[in-house]
Amino acid sequence: MSQQKDLSRRGFLLGTGAAALALSSVVAGCSAPSASAGAGEVNAGKGTIPEAWDEEYDIVIVGAGGAGCAAAYGAAKAGGGVLVIDSQSSSQSSSTALCGGYTYFVNSPLQQEQGIEDSIDLFVSDTLAYGQSCKEEVLRTYGEHCNEYYALVTDELGLQWTGSVNQSPGCSVPRTLVCDPAEHQRLIAEAALAQGAEIRYQTTGRRLFSDGNRVVCGILAEEDSGRELRIKAKKAVILATGGITHNPEMIEECMPGASQIPAHSCVGHTGIMHNASMEIGCQMYGRPWIYATEAKYPGYTSMDQYAELYIYGAVEVNLTGDRYIDESIYWCNERTRALLKQPTDPVDGICTWEILDQTAYDLALAAGPPIGLQESTVELLVSADNYEELGEKILSPNLAATMAKYNDDVARVGYDTVFGRETMLGVGTGPVAPLVTPPFYAFKNAPHFDYNPATSFYVDEQCRALNSFDEPIERLYQVGEIMLRSVIGNHYQYGLATGAGGTLGLYCGGLTAELDNWDA
């Protein structure tokens, strides 16, 4: 089966009207194929199912990252027979393994130990205001169950959290913890296996099977060898397949020009199961809100060359030395659209510079990795005793004038009058300060796609996939990046993606294990 066919523009643009029309011709029941289907022929969008299943499990999970493995653990512990498939050779290429290690909890034991007062209501209020398009019922499910996941990974699996609780943009109190991300992924994958779940790598989910009542019955999978498997899911299918960051055609349809931005995410984030979801009636939301992240040095893909220095007061300028955005706006569509309009570095692609003084440098160095300064990012800094010299070194002729205007505004009126920056990084962070203490530094950074949580599917409070009428598609669940718009909305809070993936995966796995078999 051709992967190109799965990633076609036609598949991506399939609307709910076409999906509903297709579903109107499905067969009645999961036990027999469509009259128009040949032996073994697959046409999941029209409800066609195989004449015979190759394998069957209670729960089939597509994606073995943090969310998928948490779901596998929860389902297996509750007594379900679980198969997890993943297109990659291991789970160490997942978003959970590759991220900065931030993980977000509400009213966690560490918050309580550090005297931070938090509540589910406060979390929901913060996130609805900041995210704009989240689903309150899903946020409440997350808030009510996140400390179950915290207890699992911390108390049972021994995951270590480092430093103090961090405050993310959009949060009125600190909620984000830091861990070793690869260790996090390793522990939850091993825990799922220990509970009896089977994880099968180098096996890609291709299509979903559903019956005439729109009940999902199983999946079509393909091994790297090319062998196809029709796998029956007696209780549910859970999709935890990440995003669309390695599908340039989808990215370009969301935001013209964005396909030139490189993806540093798991290469399995191809959007195949997004197409499969749309084919049976799921509606994908937030395409106009897709965004990239920044702060990695050009040419690097690891977090060892990553530094979000505007968190500590830095400003961002383009190649000519001009500011172009309010730096307190965190990752969002507005920021990426503004970035794409800036001059392009002929060698490194679209790039900008983060500019900071010694005071901001000291704050970033004290913060350390994953988003402050560390040895591997300090050595990439350009430094000078004044902004004129720094501008000459980074070939940005307007830098000195830009910084003079910015520093004068902040010293005189307390905020930036050009773009309106008042805080370091939005709600809950401190006010801006002039960048006037020498020496001065510049860190070159480029945009990249690590994830695309704003562009995904909506689910209900049980993590059931929804159609465009907000009706659940029975026996189809989505957790992790494929449904993160439900939790994050239009603006990202760091750590919430990993926290929600693990929390909702664990919750959803346990929930599906309690379902009756559809063919009972």
**Is 143 part of a structural domain of the chain?**
no
Distance CA 3, CA 447 (A): 27
* 3-state SS, residue 340: helix
**Is 428 part of a structural domain of the chain?**
yes
Distance CA 415, CA 114 (A): 31
Angle between helical axes of 496-513 and 136-151 (0-180°, round to 10): 90
In terms of residue numbers, what domain contains 410? Answer: 294-448
Beta partners for residue 57, in sequence order: 233
Query: Residue 201 burial by CB count (10 A; 0-12/13-18/19+): exposed, middle or buried?
Result: middle
Token pair recorded at residue 465: 């996939």
Are residues 234 and 517 in contact, defined by beta-carbon separation less than 8 angstroms? Answer: yes
* 3-state SS, residue 123: helix
The whole-number pLDDT of residue 32 equals 39
**Is 454 part of a structural domain of the chain?**
no
Mean pLDDT of 359-382: 95
The whole-number pLDDT of residue 103 equals 96
User: Helix H segments across 152-289?
Assistant: 181-194, 248-254, 272-279
More confident residue, 5 or 196: 196
The whole-number pLDDT of residue 425 equals 85
Query: Residue 183 burial by CB count (10 A; 0-12/13-18/19+): exposed, middle or buried?
Result: middle
Are residues 427 and 130 in contact, defined by beta-carbon separation less than 8 angstroms? Answer: yes
The whole-number pLDDT of residue 12 equals 40
Strand-strand pairing, 293-296 and 102-104? unpaired
Mean pLDDT of 415-436: 91
**Is 2 part of a structural domain of the chain?**
no
Token pair recorded at residue 170: 């959009």
Distance CA 11, CA 278 (A): 8
Q: What is the mean pLDDT of the chain?
A: 90
The whole-number pLDDT of residue 312 equals 93
pLDDT band, residue 47 (cuts 50/70/90): low
Q: What is the DSSP string of 25-39?
A: T--SSTTS--TT--T
**Is 426 part of a structural domain of the chain?**
yes
**Is 432 part of a structural domain of the chain?**
yes
pLDDT per residue over 74-116, tens digit each? Answer: 999 999 999 999 999 999 989 899 888 999 999 999 999 999 9
- Using a pLDDT cut of 70, give the percent of the chain over it: 91
The whole-number pLDDT of residue 301 equals 86
Distance CA 476, CA 473 (A): 6
Cα angle for residues 370, 102, 100 (degrees, 5° grid): 40
Q: Please count the structural domains in the chain.
A: 1
Distance CA 293, CA 68 (A): 24
Token pair recorded at residue 250: 């989808």
User: Helix H segments across 152-241?
Assistant: 181-194
pLDDT band, residue 40 (cuts 50/70/90): low
Which residues of 35-114 form beta strands (DSSP E)?
55-62, 82-85, 102-104
**Is 344 part of a structural domain of the chain?**
yes
Distance CA 505, CA 512 (A): 11
Mean pLDDT of 119-128: 97
Distance CA 499, CA 159 (A): 14
Q: Is residue 39 pLDDT above 60, yes or no?
A: no
Distance CA 209, CA 229 (A): 12
Beta partners for residue 60, in sequence order: 83, 237
* 3-state SS, residue 418: coil
Angle between helical axes of 496-513 and 181-194 (0-180°, round to 10): 10
Distance CA 497, CA 487 (A): 8
The whole-number pLDDT of residue 3 equals 38
Mean pLDDT of 474-487: 97
pLDDT per residue over 314-331, tens digit each? Answer: 999 999 999 999 999 988
**Is 421 part of a structural domain of the chain?**
yes
Beta partners for residue 442, in sequence order: 355, 382
The whole-number pLDDT of residue 19 equals 38
User: Which of 45, 51, 46 lies closest to 31, judged by CA?
Assistant: 51
Distance CA 156, CA 488 (A): 28
Token pair recorded at residue 357: 């003084």
Are residues 169 and 425 in contact, defined by beta-carbon separation less than 8 angstroms? Answer: yes
CATH of the domain at 311: 3.90.700.10
- Using a pLDDT cut of 90, give the percent of the chain over it: 79
The whole-number pLDDT of residue 375 equals 96
Q: What is the DSSP string of 352-390?
A: EEEEE-HHHHHHHHHH-TTTS--HHHHTT-EEESSHHHH
What is the separation of C-alpha 362 from the centre of its chain, rounded to a whole number of angstroms?
Answer: 30
Mean pLDDT of 398-409: 98
Mean pLDDT of 147-168: 95
Residue 218 CB-half CA count within 13 A: 28
pLDDT band, residue 51 (cuts 50/70/90): confident
Q: Is residue 520 pLDDT above 80, yes or no?
A: no
Mean pLDDT of 275-282: 94
